[in-house]
């Protein structure tokens, strides 16, 4: 096992990429605290975690609210005893909107969901990691932070901010034995992406066609593809890796060769 007796917080761990990371960690011996708003889906994930022989807990938490984040971290310490790993996965992807039509409210919401929440969780967890002289922080950014997207300035900016925060924290906490890295998913088939597909379009066919036209590996990514990289960054295999960004994009931002 790669994570024996470790304890992790996974924000947004109820479904999608967060669920896959939670289950992957549990398979490797890690206790998992799911911080999410979706109670029904979180409890289903917890059932799968318990089947793997480790402890899992669900704490309902809005990661953009500092009070709720502080309470969540205190509950994890109380119930699981420590925090070795923090995965800042919770976030959101709104409708594509040109900047001339983008409202201030939509901008603020994207920054809150994708950047402020990461800041609040890091701020709350890092003191415990400093005390223990150990920690692994994994921030889920996006390939959108580096590449131009279809009218998503709010999302791209928020995910770019996650990268900058990752680099800054890396320097700030390295002397305490804490590693901070970022994962940048590309096109990963999750509910977030499915919600962007027009009604009436077959989702699997859409992703297959998109993969053939864009992705060198000729397939869309899965949450499990991201979870494997998260496991590497959470384990002792990456103890000398910090301040890095790893793209999980099947070859993107390079494009698939013409046929």
Catalytic machinery residues = 155
How far apart CA 255 and CA 234 sit, in angstroms, is 30
- CA 207, distance to chain mean position in Å, is 21
Helix (H) or strand (E) holding 258: none
Sequential DSSP letters for 85-147: EEEE----------TTT--HHHHHHHHIIIIIHHHHHHHHHHHHHHHHT-EEEEEE--GGGTS
**166 three-class SS:** helix
Let me know: does 95 contact 147? Beta carbons within 8 Å. Answer: no
Alpha carbons 140 and 159: distance in angstroms, whole number: 8
């Amino acid at each position: 096992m790669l994570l024996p007796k470790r304890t992790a917080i996974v924000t947004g761990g109820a479904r999608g990429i967060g669920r896959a990371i939670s289950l992957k960690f549990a398979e490797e011996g890690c206790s998992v605290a799911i911080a999410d708003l979706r109670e029904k889906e979180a409890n289903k994930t917890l059932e799968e975690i318990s089947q793997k022989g480790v402890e899992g807990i669900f704490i309902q938490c809005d990661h953009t609210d500092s009070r709720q984040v502080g309470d969540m971290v205190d509950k994890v310490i109380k119930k699981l005893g420590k925090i070795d790993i923090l995965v800042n996965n919770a976030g959101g992807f709104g409708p594509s909107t040109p900047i001339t039509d983008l409202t201030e409210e939509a901008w603020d919401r994207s920054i809150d969901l994708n950047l402020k929440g990461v800041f609040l969780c890091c701020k709350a967890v890092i003191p415990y990691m400093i005390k223990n002289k150990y920690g692994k922080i994994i921030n889920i950014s996006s390939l959108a932070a580096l590449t131009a997207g279809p009218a998503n300035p709010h999302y791209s900016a928020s995910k770019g901010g996650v990268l900058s925060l990752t680099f800054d924290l890396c320097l700030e906490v390295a002397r305490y034995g804490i590693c901070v890295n970022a994962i940048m998913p590309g096109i990963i088939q999750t509910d977030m992406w499915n919600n962007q597909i027009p009604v009436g379009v077959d989702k699997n066919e859409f992703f297959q066609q998109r993969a053939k036209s864009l992705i060198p590996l000729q397939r869309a990514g899965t949450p499990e593809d991201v979870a494997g990289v998260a496991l590497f960054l959470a384990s002792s295999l990456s103890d000398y890796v910090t301040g890095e960004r790893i793209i999980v994009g099947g070859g993107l931002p390079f494009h698939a060769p013409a046929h």
